[in-house]
Amino acid sequence: MGNIMQALPLPTLYISHGSPMTALDGGPAGRYWRELGPAFTAAFGKPKAILVISAHSLTREPVLLAAERHEAVYDFGGFPDALYQLRYDAPGAPALAPRVAGLLAAAGLPGHVLNEGGLDHGIWTPLRSMYPEADIPVLPLAWPHTWPPAKLFELGQALAPLASEGVLIIGSGAITHNLRLWAGGRGAIDAKEYPESAAFRNWIDDHTVAHDWPALFNYRQQAPHAAYMHPTDEHLLPFFVAAGAAGTQDAPAVRVHASVTWGHLAMDVYAFGAGGQTLADASVAATAG
């Protein structure tokens, strides 16, 4: 295991963060998040820092939130009071911000550093389960949702050296995300999956494993039910940053978790890079244990 830690860059992750309620009632995805942090540490050691690209931190150009400390931001409404009592006070990573800004500049991409903090629920809900001690520095990277998938993949590629420097790169969003389907009430969390959801996320998985990035970049035209599963695409776009951060379009990719809540909100998690299968195996071992 020690040789793996030394030889491989850290895998990069795309995490479907789903509803904020996952922080309370969990379900299969919440249980997996609690296993994911220990499994990652067992396979690769604890990350030195975590860089997160969340669907809920959007800006016109990339912006690094380089505060000394962060608190959970409750960027949602209409949920039980218990959810607003949860905290995640994590250290920031101001020393890492200039390194990231330099990588963006070297790739010809804009990047700004703000000495401000706060973790939106796309960041703190999974991290609170993965690393409940809140002892790993976190650096949110706000990003432009107007950039197309191919350019966001390039953004990820610019970040790729960080994976060899002990930084865990996470894209946080949702493989399917149509909140209009909740218009009549949330229904049952374990409702049968909509066929449109199954078709879309299986298409994503098939093309990701096959490294068919031209099709994935054009998913809105090629994937089944793309507009139905993503009326707007900000929740899928962090997937492309996380994938690009593995370095190349032929980097290994593995879906390490797959589940659906309320029948239409997919909670799939992907690992990209040479260590992805190692993480998948470690996750299985953690579940068995």
- In sequence order, the 6+-apart residues with CB closer than 8 A to the CB of 246 are 11, 12, 156, 160, 163, 252, 253, 272, 273
Q: Is residue 149's pLDDT more than 50?
A: yes
Average pLDDT, the chain: 92
Amino acid symbol at 268: D
Q: Is residue 286's pLDDT more than 70?
A: no
Q: Is residue 5's pLDDT more than 70?
A: no
Query: Dmax of the chain from CA atoms?
Result: 53
Nearest Cα to Cα of residue 127 among 285, 258, 17: 17
Distance between CA atoms of residues 280 and 187, nearest Å: 31
The domains of the chain, with CATH numbers, are 2-288 (3.40.830.10)
Nearest Cα to Cα of residue 241 among 221, 270, 268, 265: 270
Nearest Cα to Cα of residue 242 among 36, 47, 58, 14: 14
Q: Is residue 41's pLDDT more than 50?
A: yes
DSSP state of 160: G
**pLDDT tens readout for residues 116-126:** 999 999 999 99
Distance between CA atoms of residues 17 and 53, nearest Å: 12
Question: Structure tokens of 26?
Answer: 């969990």
**pLDDT tens readout for residues 56-93:** 999 999 999 999 999 999 988 778 898 899 999 999 99
Q: Is 282 helix (H, G, I), strand (E, B) or coil?
A: helix
pTM of the model: 0.95
Residue whose token pair is 């993949």: 153
**pLDDT tens readout for residues 187-242:** 677 889 999 999 999 999 999 999 999 999 999 999 999 999 999 999 999 999 99
